[in-house]
Amino acid sequence: MKVGILGTGMVGQTIGNALAAQGHLVMLGSRQAGKAEAVAWARSAGVNARQGSFADAAAFGELIFNCTKGDAAVAAITAAGPVNLAGKALVDVSNPLDFSKGMPPSLFVGNTDSLAEQVQRAAPQAKVVKALNTLNCYLMVDPSKLAGDHDLFICGDDADAKAQVQGLLTGAFGWKPAQIRDLGPLSGARATEALLPLWIRLFGSLGHANFNFHMNIGPAPKD
C-alpha cells in the first residue's frame, strides 16, 4: 500500500521505517520538500521510501499518518490539502501538548474537544482514526518489545477506516486484535489524549519510555 506520513520527526521516521520494511511504499512529508533529515531518512530506509512536502505525501498516500507536532497539526493538515486527504483513512498520532509554560506540558484542548476532532474539522472528508498516541513510537511498531499484555486504544467515526487501520496495526506492526480496544467514535480521542499527563508523569518517575497501559478486565458481574 502507498502510505503518506505527515511529519519527519522520530515518530514519522519510526513508522515509516516499519512500513517500508514490510514492503509498503512510504512518503514522509514536511513543510518543505527536501528537508535534510527527510532526505537522509529516505536514503537510509531503502527503495520503498521517499520524501516530499506535506501536500506531496498526502496526495501520494492511500492511507495517511499525522505525526506532526501537536500545536502544528492543524496547520500541517491544512498545508497537506484537505482535497488530497478526502476519502482516505488518516491515522492521527499527534498529541495536544502545550510546552509554553514549561514542564510538564499541559493539554491545549481537551474534555469537550480533542486534537483529533480539530484535525477532522480541518479535513472534513478525511476519515480520521485516532490511534497509537498513548505509547512510545518504538512500541507502536513492535509491541512485542514489551513483555506481557498491553493495550492500544483506537477510535473514529468511520467503521471501514477503523477496520483498515486495525488491519495495518495487526498486519504490519504485530498488534494482536485482542490488544486493540475500540473506544467508538472519534470523540474517544478526548479520553486517549487525556492520558498524556499521566503518561508523561510515569515517564518522569520511571526514567524511560518502555511501558504501556494495560487493563485487567473480568467477566461482567452477575446480578
- Interface residue list for ligand NAP (CB under 6 A): 7-12, 30-31, 35, 67-70, 72, 75-76, 93-95, 97, 133, 136-137
Measuring CA to CA, how many Å separate 67 from each of 16, 42, 71, 74, 137? Answer: 10, 16, 12, 11, 10
3-state secondary structure of 195: coil
Q: How far is 128 from 94, CA to CA, in rounded Å?
A: 12
Q: Which is nearer to ligand NAP, 26 or 76 (CB)?
A: 76
Write the DSSP symbol of residue 61: -
Task: Compute the least distance from the CB of residue 5 to ligand NAP, in Å.
Answer: 9
Task: Compute the least distance from the CB of residue 201 to ligand NAP, in Å.
Answer: 15
Task: Compute the least distance from the CB of residue 220 to ligand NAP, in Å.
Answer: 32
Q: Which is nearer to ligand NAP, 207 or 219 (CB)?
A: 207
Residue number of the CB closest to ligand NAP reads: 9
Task: Compute the least distance from the CB of residue 188 to ligand NAP, in Å.
Answer: 16
Q: Are 138 and 12 in contact (CB under 8 A)?
A: no
Q: Which is nearer to ligand NAP, 1 or 200 (CB)?
A: 200
Closest CA to 21 of 41, 47, 39: 47
Q: Which is nearer to ligand NAP, 191 or 216 (CB)?
A: 191
Q: Are 170 and 179 in contact (CB under 8 A)?
A: no
